[in-house]
């Protein structure tokens, strides 16, 4: 009985290994490339446009994201005036969203990046296939690929 039970436990443990191995892991370089692509693709700061930081984030979104990522709420002005913190928060959110999309669209990093860019602009992962949003997604995807093709810094 012990041998049978041990065999079942080992079988169950091994059967879950391929599933775990297939779970997408977002690398720091993927997150950094996406964050930079979004920053470079953001509409240029226009005075009094109601958007904050190099990433042009809405005030309500700043509060939600800083609560989620920093466990404290920053005002949009605090977010705007601290580029390092803004990048940290955007990186946190992009890590979450890119992970979701790499899982939803396995083996297609470009499509996952496009879905995240669409979500960034509209709040939806799909529907950005024409007009301004399509141009934005194409621009982000191109800039992401440029960032990813850069050699990693030596440590």
pLDDT of the chain along its 155 residues, tens only?
A: 444 333 333 333 433 334 444 445 899 999 999 999 999 999 876 777 788 999 999 999 999 999 999 999 999 999 999 999 999 999 999 999 999 999 999 999 999 999 999 999 999 999 999 999 999 999 999 999 999 998 766 55
Residue 81 near residue 89, CB atoms below 8 Å: no
Q: Residue 45: what pLDDT? A: 63
Phi/psi for 82 (5° steps) reads -130, 80
3-state secondary structure of 57: strand
Q: What is the DSSP letter of 4?
A: H
**CA–CA separation, 134 and 121 (whole Å):** 10
In the block, tokens 């109601």 appear at 50
Handedness of CA 110, 115, 118, 120 (dihedral sign): negative
Q: What angle do CA 80, 26, 23 make, to 5 degrees?
A: 145
């Amino acid at each position: 009985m012990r041998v049978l039970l041990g065999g079942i436990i080992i079988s169950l443990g091994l059967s879950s290994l391929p599933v775990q191995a297939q779970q997408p892991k977002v690398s720091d370089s993927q997150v950094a490339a996406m964050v930079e692509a979004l920053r470079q693709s953001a509409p240029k700061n226009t005075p009094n446009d109601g958007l904050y930081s190099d990433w042009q984030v809405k005030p309500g979104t700043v509060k939600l994201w800083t609560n989620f990522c920093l466990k404290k709420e920053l005002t949009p002005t605090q977010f705007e005036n601290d580029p390092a913190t803004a990048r940290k928060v955007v990186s946190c959110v992009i890590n979450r969203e890119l992970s979701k999309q790499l899982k939803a669209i396995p083996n297609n990093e470009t499509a996952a990046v496009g879905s995240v860019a669409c979500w960034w602009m509209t709040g939806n992962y799909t529907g950005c296939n024409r007009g301004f949003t399509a141009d934005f997604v194409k621009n982000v995807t191109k800039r992401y690929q440029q960032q990813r093709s850069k050699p990693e810094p030596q440590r």
